[in-house]
DNA sequence: TATCTTAGTGTTAATTTTACACTATAAAAA
DNA sequence: TTTTTATAGTGTAAAATTAACACTAAGATA
C-alpha cells in the first residue's frame, strides 16, 4: 500500500478475484463445470473455479490461469461477464469478483481432465445444487448473457466439436434458448448465413440415416462481418 | 492486508476505482461530460470522472457517489460497463477500473451543475479530445454498448426531458445509431409499442406547427415486459 | 396574406418469418 | 432378406414485417 501515499489516498483495498462459469454441452443438455471446495467457508460445497488476481496479470489472464489450474481447461473462448461487488458476498472479508464465462467443447475437455486433483464435476444447468458464495447469481447472469448472445454471435460453435451435425447444432440452440425450433426453418436460416462449411464426412454407426457433418468457417464469417453483414437467428 | 493470512494468500492487491462515462443529448448531438484533471498524471487533460472504491460500498454505489461528487449528477440511470485491467493503464501503479456509464437528462443536469468546483465540460462524442489513461477506450466501449442496447431496451428516454417530441426522440436514435431513420416508419413502430403516452401539451413559441409532447410510460412498459413482450426498433 | 419551417399522416411492394409433412437411408430386429 | 425403427433431409404457401416514398397541416414571421 505504500505507493498510495504518493497521491494522498490511503484506503484499504478490497481483495480481487476472478470466478469462471464454464459451460459445456452434452446429450442435448447445457452443463456447467463446478469444483468442490476443500476448505471453509463453504467446505464441500460446489463452487465456480476462482482465485486471486495477481499484480502481473490482467483479469482475463487470471481467468485463463484459473481455468487451467483448477479445471484443466485451456485454449477456450472466454468473455468477461460482470463484476460482483456486494459487501457480504464472501463471509471472510471484502472480496470483489470479476466473473468470466467460458465455452468449452466438453468432449475435448474430458481428454485433458484426467490430471485433476480437485473434485470437478459437470452439472446440468437446470439441476444445479446450491452453490458457495453468490455463485448461483453469477451463473444466472452468465446463462442470461449466453442466451442473449447466441442469436447474434457465433459463439455456440465453441461448445461443439469441430465437426457437428445440424441436428446437434439445433439441439444446442434449443438448450440455450430454452425453446423448440422448427427444423426446416432452422436449417434454411443457418445455412443461408454462409459460414457453415459442409464436409464430405458423415456420421458412422448410427442406426438410421447418417447425418452430414458441418464445421464453422471462421474465415467466411470474418469476411461477412467485415462487409457489415451480421447474423441473426 | 492482515486478514489475508487467514487463508494463506498473501498477495499484493491492485487498487480499484470506478470511472463513469456520462452521456447527454443536446441539439441533436450525443455528448459526454468530462472533467479536467487537476493533478499529475495527465494534469490538465480531460478524463472520465472516477475514484477509489471504498470498503463500505459496492462498485455501483461508488459510481453513484463519484457521479455526485465529481459531476454533480444524481438519480440517473447507470449500468456497469466493463472492468478494465491492463497492467499499464495507470502510470503510477496497478489500478483496475470498473467502468460504468450513465445517461442523464442534460437540461436537468445544467440546473444542478452550477455548484461545481471542478472544471467539467460537455463534449460532442464525435469530437472528443485525447483523454487521460485508457479513457478513450472506455468511452468507445460505452458508446458501443449504448448503440447495441438502445434498440431493445428503452434507455434512450433517460437522455431526454420527461416530455419530448417524436422528432426529438428520432434525432436521439439517429445520433446513437449513427444512421438516418425514416420518419413515418419510426413513428409507426415506436407508437405501436404502446409505452409512449401522448400528452395534451404541445410545443410553444416555435416558428412552425407545434409538435405534441409524449412521455415514456414506465408502468405500461413494465406490463409489456411481464407479458414477455419485448420491444425492438 | 404570403412565406417559411417542421409536424403529422397511409399505402404498396418486397422481404422475412412462420407453419407444416413426407421421403431417404442406415442399422437392427425379425 | 425383409421389415422395423429412428433420424436426416427437403419446399411451399400464408402471414407478418419492413422498407420506400410525398403531400397536407399548422404556427410564427416577414
Which residues interact with strand D by a CB < 7 Å criterion? A 165-167, 183-185, 187-188, 202, 206-212; B 182-185, 189, 204-210, 232
Which residue, among B127, B22, B144, has the nearest Cα to B77 in the 3D structure? B22
Residue length, chain B?
233
CA atoms within 13 A on the CB side of A41: 10
* B1, B83, B87 member nearest A83 (Cβ): B83
- Looking up cell 438516418 gives B180
- Looking up cell 452439472 gives A123
B107 touches strand C (CB under 7 A): no
Which residue, among A146, A80, A67, A152, has the nearest Cα to B99 in the 3D structure? A80
pLDDT one-digit tens code per residue, B19-37: 999 999 998 999 999 999 9
CA dist A142 and B220 (Å) reads 28
- Please tell me which residue of chain A has the smallest CA distance to B82: A82
Query: 3-state class of B227 per DSSP?
Result: coil
pLDDT at res. A7 = 41
**Cβ-contact A103, A161 below 8 angstroms:** no
pLDDT at res. B6 = 40
pLDDT one-digit tens code per residue, A152-193: 999 999 999 999 999 999 999 999 999 999 999 999 999 999
Q: How confident is the model at residue A1 (pLDDT cuts 50, 70, 90)?
A: very low
Instruction: Give the global pTM.
Output: 0.94
**Cβ-contact A118, A70 below 8 angstroms:** yes
CA dist B200 and A12 (Å) reads 55
Q: Which residue is nearest to nucleotide C6 (CA to C1')?
A: B208
Q: Do A80 and B80 touch (CB under 8 A)?
A: no
For strand C, give the nucleotides within 7 A of a protein CB. Answer: 4-11, 17-21, 24-28
CA dist B176 and B191 (Å) reads 19
Query: What are the φ/ψ torsions at residue B147 (nearest 5 degrees)?
Result: -60, -45
Query: 3-state class of B42 per DSSP?
Result: coil
* A9, A16, A85 member nearest B13 (Cβ): A16
Give the residue numbers in A contacting B (CB under 8 Å), as ranges: 1, 3-4, 6-7, 9, 11-16, 39, 52-60, 80, 82-83, 85-87, 92-94, 96, 98
CA dist B20 and B141 (Å) reads 12
Count chain A–chain B contacts defined by CB atoms under 8 A: 75
Beta-strand relationship, A15-26 and A95-103: parallel
CA distance A57 to chain B (A): 7
Q: Do B6 and A92 touch (CB under 8 A)?
A: yes
CA dist A224 and A218 (Å) reads 10
Q: What is the ipTM of this complex?
A: 0.93
The residue with greater pLDDT, A111 or A47, is A47
pLDDT one-digit tens code per residue, A41-90: 999 999 999 999 999 999 999 999 999 999 999 999 999 999 999 999 99
pLDDT at res. B225 = 92
State the cell numbers at A197: 462449411
What residues in chain B have per-residue pLDDT under 50?
A: 1-9
pLDDT one-digit tens code per residue, A188-224: 999 999 999 999 999 999 999 999 999 999 999 999 9
Amino acid at each position: 500500500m505504500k505507493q498510495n501515499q504518493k497521491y494522498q489516498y490511503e484506503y484499504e483495498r478490497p481483495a480481487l478475484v476472478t470466478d469462471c462459469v464454464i459451460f459445456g454441452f452434452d446429450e442435448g443438455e447445457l452443463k456447467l463445470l463446478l469444483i468442490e471446495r476443500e476448505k471453509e467457508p463453504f467446505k464441500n460445497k460446489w463452487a465456480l473455479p476462482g482465485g486471486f488476481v495477481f499484480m502481473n496479470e490482467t483479469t482475463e489472464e487470471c481467468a485463463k490461469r484459473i481455468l487451467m489450474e483448477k479445471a484443466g481447461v485451456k485454449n477456450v473462448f472466454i468473455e468477461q461477464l460482470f463484476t460482483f461487488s456486494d459487501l457480504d458476498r464472501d463471509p471472510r472479508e471484502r472480496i470483489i469478483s470479476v466473473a468470466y464465462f467460458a465455452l468449452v467443447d466438453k468432449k475435448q475437455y474430458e481428454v485433458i481432465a484426467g490430471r485433476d486433483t480437485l473434485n470437478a464435476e459437470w452439472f446440468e444447468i437446470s439441476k444445479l445444487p446450491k452453490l458457495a458464495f453468490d455463485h448461483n447469481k453469477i451463473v444466472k447472469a452468465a446463462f442470461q448473457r449466453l442466451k442473449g448472445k447466441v442469436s447474434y454471435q457465433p459463439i455456440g460453435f465453441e461448445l461443439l466439436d469441430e465437426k457437428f451435425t445440424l441436428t446437434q447444432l439445433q439441439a444446442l440452440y434449443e438448450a440455450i434458448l430454452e425453446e423448440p425450433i422448427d427444423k426446416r426453418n432452422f436449417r434454411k436460416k443457418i445455412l443461408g448465413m454462409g459460414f457453415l462449411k459442409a464436409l464430405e464426412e458423415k456420421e458412422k454407426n448410427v442406426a438410421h440415416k447418417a447425418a452430414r457433418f458441418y464445421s464453422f468457417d471462421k474465415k467466411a464469417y470474418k469476411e461477412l462481418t467485415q462487409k457489415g453483414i451480421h447474423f441473426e437467428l
